[in-house]
Structure 1
Amino acid sequence: MANLQRQPLRIGQQIKLPHQRFLDAGREAKNKFLALDYYMWTHGGRLPPDPANPPSLQSQILDTNWRRLKANGYSYHIDIIDRTRYSDGYLSRTSKPQRSGRNQARAGGADRRPTDDGGHLWAARFNGPLDSFNHFAQDANFNRGAYRAMEQEWDKDLLAGRKVFGSIKLFYRGTSKRPYR
């Protein structure tokens, strides 16, 4: 059989290619093995609750080990590839809002769509930090529509003397720098 594999193909010769389902099953088995290995390595050799279906390697790496920081009164939870996953805080108004055109322009990186704006979690008028972790790519219609309307409501409440606490959770697919929700 080894000699047959070394012979060149002939015109008209029939060959049998692996079925895509077979290739996908092999890839899935490899990914499960790697995920199981990583889980055991990070959990002192213990198996996950369901060893046949361990948490994906991607979720284990990206959904843990978040760093937390505070800026301008807001807290941020940032994942291992520098995406803000969650932020919250009490909103405050500032008399001299400043914007970072550079960070707004870079928001989303290569995953940014032509129809996106470089939005912010906390607007400059609410003393939102100028740092990149306060910016993300978002659909321009959403940014200029529903998101702006929400900010207007917050502003009205602040001007009326009410306390406003906000929390924003961002969801990403894979390693994309642009949230999908």
Structure 2
Amino acid sequence: MREVSGEVDMAKKPSRSRSAQARAGGADRRPTDDGGHYVGARFNGPTDAFNHFAQDAKVNRGRYRAMEDQWARAKAEGKRGWFRIVPVYEGESQRPSLINAWFTINDREHSIQIPNESGKKSDAKQ
């Protein structure tokens, strides 16, 4: 995956692919990883393998989820939102080391760099 972008849209009935999540990252997947989504199921993210990546479980359930929660709250408040996500890979790894995300909520721009490692701080600009 080089990048993904789109308008924030909430799914009426989110759908997941447990097998794609389990295979995310291939041989580069770590025991502490989840099968993360670039675009989560709650946002109508595709169930295809290309939408999944090996993501540190604490990051997936922490900072990445917090970003998605911000999108969901904005959408619930009737605001429009757009996003662009660009993963950064080192060498031939199938596991990104960093996730760059830019998003706009009602014309207010945000950006964040989320390291795919527990304990490393995100760099947010708002």
Bucket of the pairwise TM-score, normalised by the shorter protein:
0.7 to 0.9
- Asked if 1:163 corresponds to 2:83, the answer is no
The answer for the alignment partner of 1:111 in structure 2 is 28
Higher RCO (C-alpha under 8 Å, 6+ residues apart): 2
- Asked if 1:176 corresponds to 2:93, the answer is yes
Structure 1: 4+ residue segments shifted above 4 A: none
**Aligned counterparts of 2:6 and 2:12: Cα–Cα separation in 1:** 19
- CA apart distance, 1:136: 0.4
Q: TM-score, normalised by structure 1?
A: 0.53
Cα deviation, 1:118-175, whole Å, max 9, x if unaligned, reads: 0001111100000011100111000000011111110000011111101111011111
**Aligned counterparts of 1:114 and 1:85: Cα–Cα separation in 2:** 24
- CA apart distance, 1:91: 1.3
The answer for the alignment partner of 2:4 in structure 1 is 87
Percentage identity across paired residues of the two chains: 55
| Unmatched 5+ stretches in structure 1 | 1-83
The count of residues paired between Structure 1 and Structure 2 equals 98
Over aligned residues, Cα RMSD in angstroms? Answer: 0.6
SS in 2 for 1:137: strand
**Aligned counterparts of 1:94 and 1:174: Cα–Cα separation in 2:** 35
**What is the identity, as a one-letter code, of the residue corresponding to 2:9?**
S
Q: Indicate the structure with greater helix content.
A: 1
